[in-house]
Every structure is written in C-alpha cells, then in structure tokens.
Structure 1
Amino acid sequence: MLFWIITAAIALVVSGILALALLRGRPGDEPPAAYDLRVYRDQLKEVDRDLARGVIGAEDAERTRAEISRRILAADAQLQKGGDTGGQPQGLGRVLAAAAVLGLIGGSLLLYRQLGVPGYGDLGLNSRIEMAEETRNSRPSQAEAETTMPARSPANEPTAEFLKLMEQLREAVQNRPDDLQGHKLLARNEAVVGNFKAAYEAQARVISILGEEAEASDYADLADLMILGVGGYVSPEAEAALRQALQRDPRNGVARYYMGLMFAQVGRPDAAFRIWNQLLREGPANAPWIPPIRGQITELAQLAGVKFTMPSTGAPLKGPSAADMAAAGDMSAEDRQDMIRNMVAGLAERLGTEGGSPEEWSRLIGAYGVLGEVNKAREIWIEAQQVFAGKPDALATVRAGAERAGLLQ
C-alpha cells in the first residue's frame, strides 16, 4: 500500500506543476511582446544608421521603417491584450491543464487496472519466493494426492489372456521378492493396465534390489510412474526420486523435465523456465519432453517475466550429403568447394545455437574432415562429447563422424 501512496503523491505533484505552468502561461520579468518591441525599436535605429552611411537609399529606408512600424503596432496590441502571459488563451490553458491531470492520474489507474491486481497488497520477489517455498513444503503427499484421483481404466482394455498372465506374474513375484527381472516386468505391465500405484511400488522394489547399482533411469522411471499415477502432479516423494536421478546423471532429460514441472506447480516459473528452456534448446527434437515443453513454455515465460522466442522446429539443416555432391558435379572445383563450405557453416551455426541430433553432429565432424579442416573437426568433437556426456548411444553415433574425419585411429 505504501508504494501506491507514494506513486499517487508523485503523480499529483507532477500533474499540479504541469497544470500551473499551463494556467500561468509564460510569466517572467518581461513579457515576450515587450521583448519584441525592444528589438523592433533597435531595428529602426539601425535603419537610420544604414541610411546615414549610404548603405541603403531613402526609398528603401522608408519602406523598411513602415514594415517595422507595423510590427511594433502588432506587438504593442498583443502586449496590451495578453498582459504577462504573452497572449496565451486562458481557456485553452485550463483545458490543457485538466487534460494533463486526468491523463496522468486516470491513465495511471487504468494502466494498473490492466497490468496490476487491484485489491492485493504488494508482493515483492523475496515474498513470492518464500510463498513458493512454503507451498512446496506443504503440498500434498503422494498418498494424499492418490485419494483425490478418480478410478481410471486403461486406454486399451486388456484381454482375458493378458489379465490371466498378469495374475500369474504377480503371484510369481510375490513368491520371489528378489527377482529383479520379474519386478521390472511387473512395473511395466502394471502401468499398461493403469495400476500406477502397483507399478511404482514394483519399480521401488527394483531399486531396492539393485541397491548402489541403481541408475538415474531407474529413479526417473520411479518418479514417472508416481507422477502419472496422480495426473501429472509432482509429489514430495516423486521429487525425492527425481533428485536421486539427477544426482546420478544431471543431464537426465526425464528428471529435468519433471523438476521444471514441479517448480511451475509450486509458483516458481522462473526456475521452471530456466530448466525447460535449456532442455528445449538441447534437443533432440524427437525427445518425449519436447512437445509438452513447447506447449507450455510461452505462458511460463510470461509468468517469469522473460522475453522469449520459440526456437524453430524446421527441418534440420543438411550438411553436404552424397546427393548434394552429385548435384554439384557440373560446378567448377572452386565453386563446388564454396558450396560445401556454406552448407557446413550453416549446419555448424545451427548446432551451436539450437543444438541437434547426434547424427547431425556426426555429419558436421565428418564434413570438416572431408574439407581438410581437422582443427575445426576436433573442436566440434570435443564440444559434442560435452553435449552428449552420459549418453553412450549418442556418443557412439558422433564418434563415427570423428573416425571418418581421421580424429580417432
């Protein structure tokens, strides 16, 4: 409230100064018309001096005196009529003064009505962060959230044979509590039939059996099943599983996506935007978390107060493929080389700003090798290893390009 009291006081003071200036016109020790009179009289004296020196003739002097005299009469009439306001219309001054006051005060109120939240107190950044942290600490547990979920049916009704096999699997797992593969299979199939609680309990048993050997993907799968079981809500228990996943692999995409979702749910759009924006730009474009991020990140950026432009999803820029080489067969050697360099430069720029698939990184490294630019190929290979750290399949794809470029023997 104090902020708006100060703002209203400033608006009143500024509008009052403007209104006073408009109502009083241009006051001063000498009105503008009196200054004009003095200038015109000096001009008459100058005409007499020019005539005495022979600079102008008598006829021109007389004509000039007549024009200056006419201006003197007009200035004197303005002085008598306008007083010390310089002749400014009083009615117009009052209208402009009223418009200035209404514009400043009324416009400020209208702007606040559109952008602000009337009726609510000030809410600074620290206060919002504290509220978000309180919401995070007091949000419902997994069990509490599950009690609010309606009964659900699987997307595809399982056959009687499948249900019979599920009963057999449950019985077998119950009799063999340390059967790792059995619990993995149970977790996957319970999720298929919509029994997410049973699914994440089976996945939790998988992690318990693995112990220290449990990987980031195991914890990410556990969190995924918990979150799916309560319609997308990230509970404290799911957050704990996500943190375990990120502790083992900070680049795990599933865990990072759900952590961003959690921050969005507890009132921290700034933290959520940072996570999702990085995920979106890293790619790859076919990652399962990319579509939901693209569908929500614009609104999230607005809540976070960030000016955001959605990255393009256009077709990947191609490097020089075999077809490109064939199409350039009629070119001179120099033109062909320039064409290839331009295509490689376009691909390099895209990967550097938007990221791309392992295949594109591999193609870029190989293309630099073909061009004989081994140093650039080596730089891209080093960068690719950082981008795809912890992703052995992706690194294997990129490694193939490094081998073609002669970087690995």
Structure 2
Amino acid sequence: MTFWALLILTALLIAAFLGYAMFRGRKNREPAAAYDLRVYREQLAGVDRDLARGVVSEADAERVRTEISRRILAADAQMQAQTDQDGPPLWANVVAISVVAAVLVGGGFWMYRQMGAAGLPDQPLELRKEMAEALRADRPSQAQVEADLPAAPQPQLDESYAALLEQLRETVSARPDDLQGHILLAQHEANAGNFRAAYAAQQRVIELSGDAAPADAYSHLAEMMILSANGYVSPEAEEALKQALQRDPRHGPANYYLGQMMVQVGRPDIGYRIWIDALRVAPPGAPWVEAIYAQLDDLAFRAGVFNPPNIPAPSGPSREDIDAAAALTPEERQEMIQGMVNQLSDRLATEGGPVEDWAQLIAALGVLGEGQRAIDIMKEAVDIFAGDTEALELLDAAAFQAGIAQ
C-alpha cells in the first residue's frame, strides 16, 4: 500500500508543477504593445543622446520625436483596447491541469498494473545471475519434462511409408550394431514426428561412432530432445550441445539452441551474445539464421541492448519466392527443388566452387533420396579438397546429414 501511495503522490506532484508553470505563465504574460512601448521610449532617449552629441540637428530630432510620439500613442491605445487577460480563460487551464493529473495518476497506475510487479523485492544484477545459475542447475531433466507433457497425437503417415518405417525398425532391432541402419532410423523417426524414438536412435548412432562422431551427430541428438520436450532445452540436451561445440565451436544449430537455453534460464544477455557471434560466421542461406533474426529484436530488448551491431541481413529467397513456393503443388515444388539442385550440380561440375557449396549439394541429394548420386559427388569433392582438413570435416558432416556416411 505504501508503494501505491508513493506512486500516486509522485504523479500528483508532477501535475502540480505543470499546473504552476501554466498559471505562472498566465501572470507573466504581457501584450505585444507593452513591448513596443518600451522600445519607443528607448528610441526617444536615444534621440536626446544623439542631439546632445551633435549627431543630429534640432529640426531632425524634433521630427523623429514627433514620429515616435505618434507610435507611442498608437501602442498605448492598443493596450487600452486589449482585455486584461490574454490567452485561454482560467477555466480552460483548470480543466487542462485536471486532465493532466488524471492522465498521470490513472495512466501510471494502469501501466504499472500491466508491466510492473508490486511487492517484488529489489533484484540486483548479481542476485539475478545467482538465480539464473540456480535455475540452470535445478531445472527438470529430459525424462521429467517428457513425463509431464500430455501425450502427443500420433502422426498420420502414408500407409506405404508407415510400412517401410516399421520394416526399418524391425531390421535395426535385429541388427543393433548397424551404424547406417540407426542413422536412417533416426532420420525417418524424426521425419515421422516420433522425436523420442528419433533421439533414442541417434544416441545409438553416437555410441556406435565413438570418438569419430561429428558435431552434427550431437547437434541432431540435442535437436530431437528439444523437439520432444516442446522446445525446452534439458540438461541432457545441453550436454549434447556442448559436445557438438567442442568438435565445432562455429556449429550454427548448436549455437542457436544454446542461446535458447540461456534465455530459458534467465540469461538473455548471454543468449544474445551467442546469437550475435553465430551470425557473424554464418554461412549464406543457413536455415537457423532466419530463426535467429525472427527473435533477435525481442532478445536484444530483454538483454538491454539498444544499439545492436550491424549484422548483414541473411541471404536467401525473398518473401515473394517463399509465398510462390507455398502455392505450388507437391509435385511442382519437388520439381522446383530438383531443378535448383541440378543447377548447383552443373555449376560445380563446370566452374567448381567452395566446399560449402559441395556440402550443400551432398546434403540436398540425401534429402531428395538420391543416395548413389550423393556418394558420387562426395567422392569427387574428397578428391578436390584432399589435404584440406577443415573442408573434409565439412564434407563428412554433409555426408552424415545425407545418410551416406561410411
């Protein structure tokens, strides 16, 4: 109650100061003719000084006095004709002050009810950091969150695809050490929306890969966990993200989800810095870049950043291109994607290109189901970039994403 009394008293004091300024202005206001009179009187005194110094003759001085006197009489008559009160009447000022007071008190009360937190104790920066660390350390596990979530509806799959997926499950179950089988199972379980089964298969992929598991393997594991938990980044998912970033500190998806996790535990400032650093090294057309840009302004506000750095806008299809693609039939959209992939393939075959383009082509062929073609492109790219460790690692990650990793 003390807080609300203080808030109302502050608003009333501000209104009182504004009202005092308005009424004081009314008392000090003078008509323009009064100013003219002062000027004319000063001019008369100036004529007398000029005459005493011999600057003007007596005849000229008399003529100037006559003209100034005429103006003085005119100004005096104008002042007499004016009313004693210029400007708005007194009642208008009273109404204005009342409205200002009502807006300050009522508006302040309403705004604080919407945005404030009455009764909340002070939260210094160090205390908020400690609270964030405590929240991060004590947040629920992956299993706890999944247990608390309502049962997700079963995805509706095409009968033929559902049969193939069931057959893949049986095959992988019979061959528990088949790395390629688990890779395919994780991909198809994710495509079907079975994220819990997807990350279970992905965990087996990492176990079978051992130390050779790339950053993408851990990033996919974390992503499946996060999707299974409706966007919540659990401690288990965080550990997978850390493993991905240990192998590739610039891994975009891992940095994206790590930034999300920091926001969830009350550290938007750290999340904002992670995302900004990720954007600085983002490859052209990376899908996670669009996701960051869609949330960056809100995150900057929450992080207290009011002069964000100038990060170039993401390159990629325009909104018109996306809308046009959405209007296509599935067959037309597949044909368009196939054409784009063929165009990239032809350009790389004739002109060559950076390793990022080769990796993009390999991953796209895997998505399109052209595994053999992706393998052929992979072999050609490995020959071109032989000896370049970083390039070969990027190609291996693309092969893993395409499902053709050996």
Match of 1:405 in 2: none
The structure-2 alpha-carbon separation of the partners of 1:36 and 1:223, relative to structure 1 and needing over 3 Å to count, comes to closer
Distance of aligned partners of 1:313 and 1:241 in 2 relative to their CA distance in 1, 3 Å threshold: closer
Q: CA deviation at 1:142?
A: 1.4
Q: Where does 1:185-334 land on structure 2 (aligned, <5 Å)?
A: 185-306=184-305, 311-313=312-314
- Selected match of 1:89 from 86, 94, 97: 86
Q: Distance in 1 between matches of 2:92 and 2:254?
A: 63
Name the counterpart of 1:151: 153
> Is residue 2:28 matched to residue 1:25?
yes
- Checking the alignment, whether the CA contact within 8 Å between 1:260 and 1:271 is kept in structure 2 is yes
Aligned to 1:55: 56
CA distance in 2, matches of 1:46, 1:220: 89
Instruction: Label 1:45 to 1:251 Cα distance change in 2 as closer, same or farther (>3 A).
Output: closer
What is the count of residue pairs matched by the alignment? 319
Aligned to 2:175: 172
Greater displacement, 32-41 / 235-244: 32-41
SS in 2 for 1:223: helix
Query: Are residues 153 and 315 of structure 1, via their aligned partners in 2, closer, same or farther at CA, if it must alter by over 3 Å?
Result: closer
* Distance in structure 1 (CA, Å) of the matches to 2:116 and 2:261: 29
Give 1:106's aligned residue.
Answer: 103
Q: CA shift at 1:238, angstroms?
A: 0.8
Tell me by how many angstroms 1:212 deviates. 4.6
What is the rounded CA distance, in whole Å, between the counterparts of 1:162 and 1:41 in structure 2?
104
Q: CA deviation at 1:223?
A: 0.8
Q: CA deviation at 1:143?
A: 1.6
Q: Is the 8 A contact 1:220 1:255 kept in 2?
A: yes
Change in 2 beyond 3 A, CA 1:125/1:8: farther
C-alpha deviation, 1:139, in angstroms: 4.1
For residues 292 and 390 of structure 1, what CA distance do their matches in structure 2 show?
26
Residues 358/89 of structure 1: CA separation in 2 closer, same or farther (3 Å cut)? farther
Q: Secondary structure at the match of 1:234?
A: coil
Using the size of structure 2 for normalisation, the TM-score is 0.58
1:239 alignment partner AA: E
Contact 1:23–1:97 under 8 Å retained in 2: no
1:210, 1:231 → 2: CA distance?
28
- Conserved 8 A contact 2:199-2:221: yes
1:113 shift after superposition: 5.2
Unaligned runs of 5+ in 2: 318-353, 358-387, 397-406
Q: Deviations over 1:333-362 (max 9, x none)?
A: xxxxxxxxxxxxxxxxxxxxxxxx7679xx
Greater mean alpha carbon deviation, residues 203-212 or residues 122-131:
122-131
- Whether contact under 8 Å (1:183, 1:206) holds in the other structure is yes
Task: Tell me, yes or no, if the aligned pair for 2:250 and 2:281 is still in contact at 8 Å.
Answer: no
Match of 1:142 in 2: 142
From the superposition, tell whether residues 15 and 274 of structure 1 become closer, same or farther in structure 2 (CA, over 3 Å): same
Q: Do the aligned partners of residues 182 and 39 (structure 1) sit closer, same or farther apart at CA in structure 2, a change above 3 Å counting?
A: closer
% of aligned pairs identical? Answer: 40
Give the AA of the match of 1:171: A
Alpha-carbon spacing, 1:305–1:110, altered in 2? closer, same or farther (3 Å): farther
Q: Deviations over 1:288-335 (max 9, x none)?
A: 32333344334444544545678444579xxxxxxxxxxxxxxxxxxx
The Cα shift of 1:256 comes to 0.6
CA–CA distance in structure 2, aligned partners of residues 288 and 51 of structure 1? 89
- RMSD, matched Cα: 4.9
Where do 1:64-75 residues align within 5 Å?
64-65=65-66, 67-68=68-69, 71=72, 74-75=75-76
Greater displacement, 109-118 / 63-72: 109-118
Contact map agreement 1:22 1:96 (CA 8 A) in 2: no
**TM-score, scaled relative to structure 1:** 0.58
- Equivalent residue of 1:117, what SS? helix
How many angstroms does 1:94 deviate by?
6.6
What is the aligned partner in structure 1 of residue 17 from structure 2? 14
Residue pair 1:25, 1:93 contacting (<8 A) in 2 also: no
Residue 65 and residue 257 in structure 1: after superposition, are their counterparts in 2 closer, same or farther (change >3 A)?
same
Distance 1:180 1:273, change over 3 A: same
The answer to whether structure 1 residue 120 and structure 2 residue 117 are counterparts is yes
Cα distance in 1 for residues equivalent to 2:209 and 2:262: 30
Look up the equivalent residue of 1:14 and give its one-letter code: F
Could you tell me which residue of structure 1 aligns to residue 349 of structure 2? Answer: none
Give 3-state SS (helix, strand or coil) of 2:283's partner: coil
What letter matches 1:58 in structure 2? A
